[in-house]
Structure formats: C-alpha cells, structure tokens
Copies of this chain bind each other. A is one copy, B any other.
Amino acid sequence: MTYFLGIDLGGTNIKTGVIDDTGKVIRKHSQPTEAKYGADRVLKNMVDAANTVVSAAEMSLKDITYIGIGSPGPVDAENGIVISSPNLSGWSNYPMRNLIAQALGRPTVLANDANAAAFGEYWVGVGASPDIQNLIMITLGTGVGSGIVLNGQIVQGTCGYAAEIGHMIVQPDGRECGCGQRGCLETYSSASRTAVRACELLAKGKPSSLQEIYKSDPQQVTAKVIFDAAANGDELATDVIDQTAYYLALACINLTRILDPQMFVFAGGMALAGDALISRINSHFEAQNWHAAPNGVTLNIAKLGNDAGLIGAAAIAWDANRND
C-alpha cells in the first residue's frame, strides 16, 4: 500500500491527513493556521501538523510516498509557488512546495485548493471511473469556487487563474461583484448571495414564511433555511432558489459549449440541498441548452464531503507520484 500526506491549508485551520492510494483517510488532524503571524509561522504549523498526523497514524515520514498541498488563491503549480493568497495576507510568490519538501524530506506537490478538490472528486469521488476524464467542480459557499479537470489533468491557466467560474459574467450589467465586474455568477448563485437576494425581497415586505425569522435576525436567513422554506412551498424562497439555479444552468451551458465536459460536480454547503438544487438546475439546463448536439453531460453532487480538501491534496500527490 502507498500512503500520501495531504495538507489542506485554510485561512483558519490547517488540516492534514494520511491517505492511502484508494483515497481512504487513515488519520486526520486539524490545528489553527495562525495566519496573522506571517508565512514562516504558517509553514512551521504546517510542518507540525504533518508530523502530528503521521505519528498519530503510527507511521514515520519515510512511509509517505508523496505530499500534496492545497493552498487558497492562485499558485504556480509547476514551480510550487503560492503567487498570492486572499486569506493569508502579505503572501507573495512564496516557494511553499520546496520549503515543505525540505522540512519534511519527502517529494511534494502544490495546487490551488479548489483545483485539488476537483481532482479529488476525479480520483476517488463522483468522477472515480476510468471513463471520466473531463469534469468541472463548482463549490457553492460564500463565493462560487471551482476546479476543472480535462483529459485527467487540472487546468491551471497561464498565471494560475483558470477555473474562476464564480466570476463568469452571466448577466450583462448585472449585480456588482467584489472583483470589480458586474453580473458575476457568484453574485447570484453563491450560498451567501442566495441569502442576500432573499433578504432583499424580505426587506421589501414581500409575504413569506421567512418574514418572522428575517425580522428577528436577518443572519438566520441562510441558504439552508431558504431551501427548507421552499420545500414547504414558500413562494418567495422558491423564486430565490430558482434564480440561483437559473444562472448556474447558464454557466453550465456555457462551460459545456467551451469545454464539452462529462460531468459537473456541485459541492459546498448549498450542495447539501442535493436533488432539490440539482433538479432545478437541470430543469433550466434542459430548457436553455441547445438541441444542436447532445453531449450527455450530467449534473452531480460531490461525494467527498468535509474531507474533500484533504483528499484533494492527497489526489495531487497521487498524480505527481504516478507521473514521476
């Protein structure tokens, strides 16, 4: 059996895991990132977290074939450099791969965390079939993250900025986005923006079963609460979710025209809604999609859940090892 060490670097926590070559998590560990103390402290914490989980698995580092790191923000995967990181301020062209490889003495590979998560679903998740080589993952959380796997490889882009699907413009001159564009997918279809759109309607006094919750605490009007209300027939909630799904469907159609993938994989908190979300996206997808030529692309919910980041980091280690 071959073992990989996955390091999922988040703004709040560093998660590490020892994962075998079937994607099974043998042991995992989490500790604070302490990003505010700077890059060197974060690096030290990553090394500690790696050593901790390897010991907990009753192994030593020489039992680890390859280490994979998933890092937020754009990375230069080829050279193992974190270009910048939205949640780790002040990081700029940080040679993380080589520093970790030196500190832990094992070959190491680095990828953007959303790309790694997509690659995890390709490796041992919903795309874990030799037939599936082209997959697009869309993560619906505070923003809309994504990763693209084409021909069994992560699409990195020229500067590490590929797969920013949340910032496709789906509505010309639409809602303002923090990125400086208007009408980005993220401004309609992220979990948080779905909640924001509901609150806008509730603020106008539109009738809804959500009015009571909204009036006591608008923060409680989350995507989950909206999906629950829609399941109980609430019209406002249904309309809000319908718009979320409509723009996701448009994005999927455009991605299908551009890349002709085999599957879309939805992840993140809002994907827990499962069929209630997928069926609505699918219905808009079918209604808006061309009839020029069907390609049989399917919409799916991700399989790896909370361990997606860890398994994704191990997945790029598995890939680097097979290509070595």
Residues of chain A whose beta carbon lies under 8 Å from any beta carbon of chain B: 74, 84, 133-134, 148, 150, 155-165, 167-172, 177, 179-182, 246, 250, 253-262, 288-293, 295-297
Contact of A172 among B170, B177, B256, B293 (CB under 8 A): B170
Q: A291-B180, A292-B179, A292-B180 are in contact. Are A262 and B148 (CB under 8 A)?
A: no
Q: Could you tell me the distance between the alpha carbons of A259 and B172 in the complex, rounded to whole angstroms?
A: 20
Q: In the complex, what residues of B have CB within 8 A of residue A157's CB?
A: 134, 259-261, 295
Interface pair B292/A253, CB less than 8 Å apart: no
Bound-state CA distance A155–B133 (Å) is 13
Q: Smallest CB-CB separation from A159: which chain B residue?
A: B295
Chain B residue nearest to A163 (CB atoms) is B258
How many copies of this chain sit in the oligomeric assembly? 2
Query: Does A179 contact B291, Cβ atoms closer than 8 Å?
Result: yes
Give Cα distance in the complex from A172 to B173, angstroms.
12
Report chain B residues within 8 Å CB of A262: 158
How far is B258's CA from A9's CA once the two chains are assembled, in angstroms?
23
Give chain B nearest CB distance to A245 CB in angstroms: 13
A95 to chain B minimum Cβ distance, whole angstroms, is 19
Pick the contact of A150: B74, B134, B155, B180 (CB < 8 A). B155
Rounded to whole Å, the gap between the CB of A46 and the closest CB of chain B is 24
Least Cβ distance of A43 to chain B in Å? 24
Given contacts A170-B172, A172-B246, A179-B291, 4 further A-B contacts (CB under 8 A): A158-B260, A167-B257, A255-B258, A258-B258
A180: B residues at CB distance < 8 A: 289-292
B293 touches A258 (CB 8 A): no
Which residues of B are found within 8 Å of A297, using beta-carbon distances? Answer: 158
B292:A167 contact, CB within 8 angstroms: yes
A84 → chain B, closest Cβ, in Å? Answer: 8
Q: Which partner residue on chain B sits nearest A148 by CB separation?
A: B258
